[in-house]
Structure 1
Amino acid sequence: MSSISVVMPTCGKPGYLAYTLASLSVQTDRNFQLIVVDDDDGTSRATVQQYRADVHLVYLSQKNAGRSAARNTGIGAADGDHVLFLDDDRIAAPDLVAHHHSAQRHSSGVVIGWKSRCLTSWRRDALPMQESDFLQLATRHPAIAARMAVEDFDLIAPADIHTDHAAALDIAGLGDDGDNYPQIVRRYGAGLTGFRLPWVLGTTANLSVPRALLEDVGGFDEQYHGWGMEDTDLSYRLHRAGAPFRVEPSAVNWHQIHPLGPGPLRRDLRRRETDLTRNLARFCDRHRTVETYLYWRKWKSKLSLEAASDLLDVLDRAGSDTWRAELLDTYATLVATDLAAP
């Protein structure tokens, strides 16, 4: 039996998956099982086979059942006491598994790793790049930045991860991702003590959980379709079940900036926004609690997470069921109106 089972769904991104597999093949802690669930009917089989000799690997294939179903399939095949969720576009630091392993020895709940960004392959007019990304590349690697105006190219190759992980990420790395919420960690600490919405930080990009807890809450809800919210829903149910949450900043991986779909970038961005709006409304409707509606307000840029946590404290001190009921009615109406808007 492995100490940790790494569960990773993949769908139609074999080029990016190769970097992820290369990073998992050079982990300092080798006591893990890697379960790759190909949700694209075997598209990535050849890529996965290249790394079978390097890791304890289980490859499963299914046909477009969705992200939640793929992860549930992976959980069902896991033999580790803990499950580490990764995405198929993440480059793991060499000690990622070791840090999750260590953190889980001292935790009985959810461990949230730290997320960074990187650019492994440049594709003109196809990538959701931020202005800060271009500025970093122009400052650190002006020759690379100059090429970006005239050609598509790979900044590093998967083999570079094998040869010299640090050097490869020195070229490709772009700093921290936006969903680490460092302001929350600064205020509440790595243990998120006193923070009322710790589940918001838990996404399957870099997250480990005792397998028994996953089984207790029933895994992922397969009624979420398209992009977004299935992992937040799982984290919220783990929170409601009493699982503690903590951030482990030393457990790092890098998100490879990649196309969001087969079409033009703007169209793919609109599709993701539509998926997220629908799934967020389903999340609120499923749970109907003040904290889930406050999370919706955060996504609508109406409320910070710190303010939401403070508001929940105020409600508890007031001890008024009437206030909570009025808030729930108000938020339910706002969500329904938002979903009906064109």
Structure 2
Amino acid sequence: MLQPSIISLVVTTYNRPDALAAVIEACFAQDDQNFEIIIADDGSTANTRETIDRLRERSPVPLLHVWQPDEGFRAAMARNRGTLAASGQYIVFLDGDCIPQRDFVSRHRALARPGYLVSGSRVLLSQEFTQRVLAEHIDMQGLGAAELLRLRSKGHINKVLQLLAKWPDKGRESRRFTWRRIKSCNLAVWRSDLDMVNGFDESFTGWGHEDSDLVVRLFNAGVMRKDGAFATEVFHLWHREAKRDLESSNRKVVLERAENGTIVATQGLAQH
């Protein structure tokens, strides 16, 4: 089975350098070091750039910083710019507030299969515990079963079984479309498939559904899905919800594209 020789982690960020540092530190500690990091920055200020510069000095893997001016929520464009800067055959999109486990890259590599994308999974952290993680630099990768169970019992994480059990790569494929677990905070796609559908659609403005749109168009193009649960979990740090002024109009576009079979993004990779 073909597996990617190099994986590119495209990590989106916007003005949250403490969370980004925790994510990148966890990337440095991966048990599979055959990958690169591209930080796709949606217009952060100098604090984030300085944090990235410090991290780059001791990065065990190639680390690039791709920045664009702050003109509102433009995560689709940031991810496209990160994709264009990547050299890997396989792109894993990760948000700058999602701390990966130590085997995150190796698990994604093992699940990679031509003709499929992998929709990863996440564990939500409470606001209180998120503040502790960032202030005390808690090593999330080093937490044992007893501590994870304690955190779950106190409501600081929303699930634990997925962290304690790892399922083999069997029964993960689906040839039917589902809206469940479409999150670009943990999503792996072959670069050739992204090129085929013209990447994320930058015509989506404001928060919401640009990730669903990508998965819909990939499905329309024949790319199936694999479920990354019980393998690829990340720790999603708490944050305030973004403004959702355009969420309903974005959702309407996605539903229309699911119905009419749209494949290619209106404004995507090819327009750069």
Which range, TM-score by smaller chain?
0.7 to 0.9
Deviation at 1:197, TM superposition (A): 1.7
Deviation at 1:167, TM superposition (A): 5.2
Matching residue within 20, 34, 44 for 1:31: 34
* Superposed counterparts of 1:192-271, under 5 Å: 192-193=174-175, 196-198=176-178, 200-249=180-229, 250-260=231-241, 271=243
Task: Give the match's secondary structure for 1:35.
Answer: strand
Deviation at 1:246, TM superposition (A): 0.7
CA distance in 1, matches of 2:258, 2:179: 16
Is 1:61 paired with 2:91? no
CA distance in 1, matches of 2:251, 2:203: 12
When normalised by structure 2's length, the TM-score is 0.77
Deviation at 1:251, TM superposition (A): 1.1
Contact 1:225 1:275 in 2 (8 A): yes
Give the number of aligned pairs: 239
Deviation at 1:107, TM superposition (A): 4.2
Post-superposition, which runs of at least 4 consecutive aligned residues in structure 1 deviate over 4 A? Answer: 155-158
Match of 1:47?
A: 51
Does 1 or 2 have the higher relative contact order (CA < 8 Å, sep 6+)? 2
Contact 2:8 2:90 in 1 (8 A): yes
Deviation at 1:108, TM superposition (A): 3.1
Deviation at 1:209, TM superposition (A): 0.8
Match of 1:80?
A: 88
* Superposed counterparts of 1:155-166, under 5 Å: 155=133, 157=135, 159-161=137-139, 165-166=142-143
* Pair 1:7–1:158, CA change in 2 (3 A): farther
Matching residue within 78, 91, 111 for 2:118: 111
Q: Which runs of 5+ in 2 are unaligned?
A: 163-170, 263-272
* Pair 1:155–1:110, CA change in 2 (3 A): closer
Task: Give the match's secondary structure for 1:110.
Answer: strand
Q: Which amino acid aligns with 2:87?
A: D
Deviation at 1:234, TM superposition (A): 0.5
Q: Which amino acid aligns with 1:256?
A: L
Match of 2:259?
A: 289
CA distance in 2, matches of 1:36, 1:102: 23
When normalised by structure 1's length, the TM-score is 0.62
Deviation at 1:50, TM superposition (A): 2.8
Matching residue within 3, 7, 14 for 1:4: 7
Matching residue within 14, 19, 22 for 2:17: 14
CA distance in 1, matches of 2:234, 2:11: 14
Task: Give the match's secondary structure for 2:138.
Answer: helix
Question: CA RMSD of the aligned region, Å?
Answer: 3.0
Task: Give the match's secondary structure for 2:92.
Answer: strand
CA distance in 1, matches of 2:11, 2:134: 22
